[in-house]
Amino acid sequence: MFAETRHLDSPTGATLAYHHLPAQAEARGVLLISHGLAEHSRRYEGFARAMAARGYHIYAHDHRGHGETVAADAPLGRFARRNGVDAVIADVLAMRELAATAHPGLPIILFGHSMGGLISLNVAVTHPDKFDAVTVWNSNFNPGPAGRAAQVILKTERMFKGSDVPSELLPKLTFGVWGRSVENRRTEFDWLTRIPEEVDKYIADPLCGFNASVSLWLDLFELTFRAPQKTYLDRLRRDMPIHLVGGGHDPATNNGKAIAWLSNHLKRSGFSHISLTIHQDMRHETLNEIGAGAAIADFADWCQRVTAKS
């Protein structure tokens, strides 16, 4: 576990719980880690230590409605009572300002897994001058008609039940479907990784696997459909380095096809520094999968190239 939980008062009113590891070698840059849905930043300690050893100052915080972060309008499972997307983006920017003040002049790289990838790309297009590179792992920015149908379902739930209660249907249409897609599954969360011990740790963690509220699901789809729009992508410089990773057996990204779609979409939009890797045998959590060490080493090499140019 991370040795210490620190706290930052965000302008949004949230008290962000975060973890920091200083670079253990000559500092190359700063890495901000953005975690996924229904989990928290402590799960990224192994990754953080590996990257700190390669010369990166690490900052990993719990998003509002997750982990140890506290906000009056964001109990577990909700970003905010209203304007949740704006709030979660502002929180990341607050972490960025903290890191930039502590390490002036160093390039800053955004890393996001799953929901964190949705957040990271949206943060980048909202504040394009604040970051030197962006990483999106295991995120689906192309849910297609099913995503639009999910929005209709969620708005119907909101109409009848309100927005601050758990969605009854979305977990069944996402986690439930993804769980059933794994042959010879041992648990409903085997879609996360092929390593049984990692699945068991996720299930046993009281801060993992909770049901998200209707409002949080709606916020996630807003993040999903917003960032790929031309209006937002045009804010980014076309030589922004963007690192994309997916799993060939990840049902949450249509077995990596959603990551490949994002790569093609960005290239068609004129971006020239896109790195794409699909790990064919991996499921959703690349960092907790068989072969994670090689994936992290590849990412560290990419970061080294990015920071050397910066």
Q: Domains (ranges, CATH) in the chain?
A: 6-143+222-309 (3.40.50.1820)
Bridge-partner residues for 142, per DSSP? none
Please state whether beta strands 242-247 and 274-279 pair in parallel, antiparallel, or not at all (unpaired): parallel
Radius of gyration for the alpha carbons in the chain, expressed in angstroms and rounded: 18
What global pTM score does this model have? 0.97
pLDDT category of residue 133 using cuts at 50, 70 and 90: very high
CA distance 34 to 40: 9
CA distance 192 to 256: 13
| 21-29: average pLDDT | 96
| 199-209: average pLDDT | 97
CA distance 229 to 31: 26
Q: Residue 310 pLDDT more than 90?
A: no
Q: Which residues make Cβ contacts (< 8 Å) with residue 2, sequence separation at least 6?
A: 19, 21, 41, 42, 45, 48
| 18-39: average pLDDT | 97
CA distance 84 to 104: 30
**What spatial distance separates the first Cα and last Cα of the chain, rounded to whole Å?**
32
Beta strands in the chain (DSSP E): 6-9, 15-21, 29-34, 56-61, 108-113, 133-137, 242-247, 274-279
CB-side exposure of 237: number of CA atoms within 13 Å? 11
The pLDDT score that the predictor gives to residue 3 is: 74
Residue pair 227/141 in contact by the 8 Å Cβ criterion: yes
| 49-62: average pLDDT | 98
